Amino acid sequence: MATSTAPHRSYSQVPDPLGRFGDYGGRYVPETLSAALDELEQAYTEAAADPAFQQELDDLLCRFVGRETPLLFADRLTEYAGGARIYFKREDLSHTGAHKINNTLGQGLLALRMGKRRIIAETGAGQHGVATATACARFGLECVVYMGAEDVRRQAPNVRNMRLMGAEVRPVESGSRTLRDAINDAMRDWMGSVETSHYIIGSVVGPHPFPKIVRDFQSVIGRETVAQCERDLGRMPDMVVACVGGGSNAAGMFYPFVDVEGVRLVGVEAGGRSAQAGSHAASLSHGQPGVLHGSLSYVLQNPDGQTSDVHSVSAGLDYPGVGPEHAYWHDAGRVDYTSVTDAEALDAFDLVARKEGILPALETSHALAWTVREAASMPPEAVVVVCLSGRGDKDAAEIARLRGFSEELTHG
Amino acid sequence: MVDTAVDTPITKLTAALAARRQAGEVVVAPFLTAGDPDLDFTFQALKVAQQAGATLCELGVPYSDPIADGPVIQASYTRALNAGGTLEGVFGLAARASEQLTMPLVAMTSYSIIFRRGIDRFVGEAAAVGLTGLIVPDLPIEESSLLAKACRQADVALVRLVTPTTPPERAARIAAESTGFLYCVSVAGVTGERVSLPQQLKDRVRWLKEQTDVPILVGFGISRPEQVREVGDVADGVIVGSALVRHLEATSGDQRQTALASIAQHVGELVAAGRAG
């Protein structure tokens, strides 16, 4: 219990009307998009105040997504780590297999309110692409998904699923052919189609009001977790852990906790092959403030302001920036950001598969790797919740390839 | 010069625009990527553009993630960066061109690059190498107060953009804040040639003329002489980007002279079209 009588600082009263999270955020976009962002902000403000909107979204989250997602005690993993009790917030059990659907349904409903019948999205791991294709199929909207050509290769099952639901997947061949290039092309599409299309951005990145909207739609994760901890454990967790690429599952998980004292929040970035520039995607751990994709946040760039190449074994974390609210929490010291390597994430994937019977997404495996290591040094009565942001079926073939499994061996 | 005012970057730009308009000609402002394929080529291209009658030139500062640009300029930026292009190099080119050419230069640059350099430092360096203005396509007015202040202090123009999606009150505000000239984007979309310009373009330009005293240049989608004549009826000039940058797609060995000749000819045709009226 805190003994200080000073009022504790609130971290939840952001962004301001210009989309600022402390020094970060804002709206750095071509003028062509300004009016559409104003329109979106207004539509969202009205929707947020409309009980019918929230009810429709809640109903979809319940019946279509399968919320609430469980809070599961990972007993064998806890035993293995030999320290704090580890719980999984099972976003992997959401329809489409990840938290991304929370946001795409919300933004899909907003698009309907604005009368926009065409949806654009970018995707890295393909989870956001699938979630967008799913929402579009459900709402009868046209769907175009931009995806880096490298990611099309390594996340093939998701590409197939998007196409099966009627979405058009456009491989992006420019630049590093990953998430960053997919965002560039999605924004370029939007520049020319802004009057009839809505861009469903997949993370808490981009120009205002996207970081706020995505955070709000994803905050259902953290709100449920708070309620489940109260109900099932009778207490708040000591630590909450989530992986951070752009940072949407982490923002949604952390936001309801930022003003809860005594809960340590930890974001785990992609440490890639090493801490050398170009070998990782850890913007908060190794980057500095800069402007990318419409907002001011931590970015990985060279001294001239050119975006650096990044690397992660996980396509969803393979991004040289991070949401501006994370930059704010980082500087304020409210959330600790750390990173784990490709190899550690792959080991955590194996470990959780064998100990818990869950194939976690490679993105999520980063959070799991750090959790297992940290839990070991915590007392057995301590509680750690890790956001199990997505399932790993999409990664299974690539991991088998990296592990050198042949089909023959796996049957042996 | 009868004008006793001290020469500043922005007065050089303003004077060049005014002189051309007084002569009854349409301003033609080519856009060229700095350092594609190398800085010396860009210098030669600027030189032939001036000789062909360009009023001013926009120097594109290569950027890794130009979301307002279509495939032609994007590819050109990538070539320049892959060739080792740096901001130092662009500034060096600007210094050389300012010294040896009379035509004013305006830099087109992403705010990412300005922010990383430091706003005051960037503007100070730009002024020192003779750049007369900045066009920052990813910086809307709400975010621009620091840069606007630095530009005012350095007498460097900060050219604003209005687009077809800009509501009228906002367009009036942008027009009032623009210095040097106002950049009127012809179409909603990224840079690149267009077969036809929107019907409402002329009406929008006429309306914008009433909102500001600075010249209005129309850009995005302009590549042909008849478009110069069409736009020149109402606007002060045109900006030509992707169509010229296309000439940079083949510049190895013997192709250099051909590319320079193509640029000279293309600019010359547009300038001639702007004189015919």
Look up the ipTM and state it. Answer: 0.96
User: What domain range includes position B113?
Assistant: 9-276
Q: Phi and psi at residue A166, in whole multiples of 5°?
A: 95, 5
Contact B113 A304 (CB under 8 A): yes
Structural domain contains residue B264? yes
In angstroms, the CA B20 to CA B33 distance is 24
A79 φ, ψ to 5°?
-60, -40
A99-109 confidence digits (pLDDT tens): 999 999 999 99
The reply to whether B4 falls in a domain is no
- Chain B partners of A36 at a C-beta cutoff of 8 Å? 165
- What per-residue confidence (pLDDT) applies to A223? 98
Tokens of A58: 């809640």
Q: Cβ contact (<8 Å) for B185 and A32? A: yes
Is B40 a catalytic site residue? Answer: no
CATH number at residue B150: 3.20.20.70
Q: Inform me whether the C-beta atom of residue B203 falls under 8 Å from chain A C-beta atoms.
A: no
CA distance B117 to chain A (A): 7
Q: Does the beta-carbon distance from B163 to A30 stay under 8 Å?
A: yes
Give the closest of A28, A34, A291 to B166, CB-based.
A34
The residue assigned the tokens 């070539």 is B79
Residue B2 included in any domain: no
Across the A:B interface, residue pairs with CB atoms under 8 Å apart total 116
Residues in A closer than 8 angstroms to B117, CB to CB, are 304-305
Chain A: give the shortest CA distance to residue B75, in Å: 9
Check if A122 is active-site.
yes
pLDDT in tens, B190-249: 999 888 888 899 999 999 999 999 999 999 999 999 999 999 999 999 999 999 999 999
Does residue B143 lie in a domain region? Answer: yes
Residue B202 lies in a domain: yes
Residue B250 has a CB neighbour count (10 Å cut-off) of 13
Q: Which of A98, A144, A102, A143 has the alpha carbon at shortest distance from A125?
A: A98
**Pair A334, A354: CB distance under 8 Å:** no
pLDDT tens digit sequence for A325-368: 999 999 999 999 999 999 999 999 999 999 999 999 999 999 99
CA distance B248 to B76: 8
Helices (H), chain B: 9-22, 39-51, 71-82, 87-100, 111-117, 119-128, 145-154, 168-177, 201-209, 225-232, 242-245, 255-276
Q: How far apart are CA A270 and CA A243, in angstroms?
A: 8
Q: Which residue has the higher pLDDT, A143 or A402?
A: A143
Please tell me whether residue B1 adopts helix, strand or coil conformation: coil
Q: What's the angle, vertex CA A390, arms to CA A384 and CA A391, rounded to 5?
A: 110
Q: What is the pLDDT of residues A79-90, one digit of tens each?
A: 999 999 999 999
Is residue B233 flagged as an active site residue? no
pLDDT band of residue B57 (cuts 50, 70, 90) is very high
| pTM, two decimal places | 0.96
Integer Cα distance of A293 and A307 in angstroms: 11
B185 has a chain A CB within 8 A of its CB: yes
Quote the number of domains for chain B. Answer: 1
Q: What's the rounded Cα separation, in Å, for the pair B174 and B185? A: 13
For every residue of B217-277, which 3-state class applies, written as one string?
Answer: EEECCCCCHHHHHHHHCCCCEEEECHHHHHHHCCCCCCHHHHHHHHHHHHHHHHHHHHHHC
Domain-embedded: residue B200: yes
Query: Does residue B183 fall inside a structural domain?
Result: yes
Helices (H), A177-334: 179-193, 210-218, 220-228, 248-254, 283-286, 324-332
CA nearest A367: which of A332, A317, A324, A309?
Answer: A317
Residue B1 lies in a domain: no
